[in-house]
Amino acid sequence: MDLEVQHLGDGIDRVKLAGRLDTAGVEAVGARLSALTTTQAARILIDLSQVTFLASIGIRSLLTGARTLKQRGGRMAILSPQSVVAEVLELTGIATLIPVFHDLEAASAALKAPPPGA
């Protein structure tokens, strides 16, 4: 599992994951992912376009990150999951907790918008 961070401007970081986000995948990138979500009130776009499988432990890791970010005034969104991963996010109800987008522009706009109730 690979993790690459790209600064998009406007305080948004695109975190591009590649491979299987399973037990081994979380072992490989979990600490870096956690550091990205706990050290700053960041706006993080998790790019799942190169993720071929999302295991339960991977979902837990993303959800934990999203919650931590929210508590620190940041936000997380998911970008371009492959159809099998998108289906998992939908059926498990995670898509209602972390918004999922299929194009970069819409995702960036959503992350830039003030949080609901702000």
Partner 1 sequence: MDIPPGDRRTPHPAIELGLASVYERCRPDSGGDVATYIPELATVDPDQFGIALATIDGRLWTRGDAEAEFTVQSISKAFSLCLALELLGRDELYKHVGVEPSGDAFNAIVFDPRTQRPYNPMVNAGAITVCALICRAMRGEALEFVLDRLAKAAGRTLRVSDAVYRSEAETGHRNRAIGHLLLNVGAAQQPIEPTLDLYFRLCSVLATASDVARMGATLANIGENPFTGESVFDVVAVRDTLSVMFTCGMYDYSGSWALDVGIPAKSGVGGGVLGVVNRQLGIGTFSPRLDAKGNSVRGVKVFRSLADEFGLHAFECTNYGSELVRTLV
Among 3, 51, 59, 76, which residue interacts with partner 1 (rule: CB under 8 A)?
A: 59
The verdict on 60 binding partner 1 (CB under 8 A) reads yes
The verdict on 22 binding partner 1 (CB under 8 A) reads yes
Query: Quick one: 62 or 79, whose CB is closer to partner 1?
Result: 62
Q: What angle do CA 4, 49, 68 make, to 5 degrees?
A: 60
Query: Quick one: 12 or 85, whose CB is closer to partner 1?
Result: 85
Residue-level length of the chain: 118
Query: Quick one: 93 or 116, whose CB is closer to partner 1?
Result: 93
Please name the residues in contact with 82: beta carbons below 8 A apart, sequence gap of 6 or more: 48, 49, 51, 52
